[in-house]
Amino acid sequence: MAIFGRLRMADLVHMPEKEFAREIEKIEKDPLFQKLFFGSEQLPAAIRRHRWPRGQLSGRFYEMNERLIAKGDRVQVDALLEGRQSLVELIRKIGKENFERYFLHAEEPLTLPQIAERTGTNLADVRMIHDFLLEMGSRSEFELPNRDPGAVQSYACLARISLDDDEPAFEFLSPYWARGLYQLRYEMVEKWKDKGELGPEERRRLPRLLKKIEAVNLRQNTLFRILESAVKIQAMALGSGKEEDKTGISLRQLARRLDLAPSTISRALAGRSVLLPQGREVPLITLVPGRRKVVREILTRWLAADRTQTDQILAERLKNERAIRISRRTVNTVRHEVSRS
């Protein structure tokens, strides 16, 4: 399927997460991808992984006590769940550290037999775990406790956010997100071609596969940059949990910061959510509120405490306490909006 070749980046960013995860599954189950990813006895891997900074897989993955919500194709989901328990036990036996090292992040360029030897499993089990990770992203998602079905039912929750010395950290809910980007080792790709390790049909298909992987990387990197930037901008509000602590920023301003088109930012934010440090799930778009919305939130609280404050006093407070410079006239306009609401 030439879906990546037909789509503009803005459309690729907008692609629903479950649909995108199915495309990831198709790529990684391609025998040519697996050949280049796992390598052989003659040549090391030409495709590796590159982890996100401060990113990890959510601990919910290791709980897996009937925490999957069945969605999509009922038969496929049931088939996945039916064999899940034995795989869960196998993953637990391997251990979290080794599971993430050899399966999730693939930190070393090892062949499948080498992974089996390192983890004390057989080759069939190694393949099953790899397939299971792909299927988890494309056919189901982890249950989110306290999810508001009316407010965020149609959102794909990407990660739980936390802050460490004001630096954002991410617990991704889907394995394919936690894995990060693909690292294409082009010099090794050339060696695979030069050493005759690829047949004529594989050599013909190779450029198309590489373009798909590059498109995946560009899409994921774009989304991560937007997510990371939005979280950094709202670090104070995320730490306090208070709406009035948010920093006002428009889609256009964020687009300029990241050197992206505003339409790309808009599409990236649509239909996605995050879990705040306090555990509440919110649409990602709420991390990019316009300045007017932030000012309105602040004035609502200030005026609720003291309605005698003049427009000039409120403008001075906004400048001194929140570094927001707006005119007295704008304060007056927002003040009347607050009074009417």
Does the pLDDT at position 327 exceed 60?
Answer: yes
Per-residue model confidence (pLDDT) at position 338: 81
Identify whether residues 85 and 228 lie together within a single domain. yes
Compute, in degrees rounded to 10, the torsion defined by CA atoms 93, 98, 100, 106.
-130
Identify whether residues 49 and 160 lie together within a single domain. yes
Which of 186, 204, 232 represents a domain boundary (last residue)? 232
Residue 245 lies in a domain: no
Does the pLDDT at position 211 exceed 70?
Answer: yes
| Non-local CB neighbours of 280 within 8 Å, separated by 6+ positions | 146
pLDDT tens track for 263-273: 999 999 999 99
Identify whether residues 200 and 68 lie together within a single domain. yes
pLDDT tens track for 55-85: 999 887 776 544 444 344 433 444 544 556 6
Arithmetic mean of pLDDT, 164-177: 88
Per-residue model confidence (pLDDT) at position 299: 85
Identify whether residues 180 and 298 lie together within a single domain. no
Identify whether residues 132 and 60 lie together within a single domain. yes
Identify whether residues 221 and 331 lie together within a single domain. no
Residue 278 lies in a domain: no
Residue 25 lies in a domain: yes
Quick one: tokens of 108?
């070393």
Average pLDDT, rounded, for the chain: 84
Residue 72 lies in a domain: yes
Which of 207, 232, 257 represents a domain boundary (last residue)? 232
Which of 232, 254, 278 represents a domain boundary (last residue)? 232
More confident residue, 157 or 145: 157
R_g (Cα) of the chain, nearest Å: 24
Q: Cα–Cα distance between 65 and 77 in angstroms, integer?
A: 16
Residue 88 lies in a domain: yes
Residue 59 lies in a domain: yes
pTM, 2 dp:
0.82
8 Å CB contact between 25 and 135: yes
Quick one: tokens of 23?
């495309």
Residue 239 lies in a domain: no
- The amino acid that residue 132 corresponds to is F
pLDDT tens track for 80-139: 445 566 777 888 889 989 999 999 998 888 999 999 999 999 999 999 898 888 877 665
Identify whether residues 79 and 178 lie together within a single domain. yes
8 Å CB contact between 204 and 233: no
Arithmetic mean of pLDDT, 330-337: 84
More confident residue, 166 or 305: 305
Residue 240 lies in a domain: no
Handedness of CA 267, 273, 274, 280 (dihedral sign): positive
Total domains present in the chain: 2
Identify whether residues 222 and 308 lie together within a single domain. no
Q: What residue spans of 83-171 are helical by DSSP H? A: 84-94, 96-99, 112-119, 123-139, 149-152
pLDDT tens track for 298-324: 888 888 888 888 889 888 888 888 778
Domain of 304? 291-340
- The amino acid that residue 165 corresponds to is D
Identify whether residues 188 and 319 lie together within a single domain. no
Q: Cα–Cα distance between 59 and 64 in angstroms, integer?
A: 9
Identify whether residues 60 and 179 lie together within a single domain. yes
Per-residue model confidence (pLDDT) at position 324: 80
- The amino acid that residue 147 corresponds to is R
Identify whether residues 214 and 126 lie together within a single domain. yes
Per-residue model confidence (pLDDT) at position 139: 57
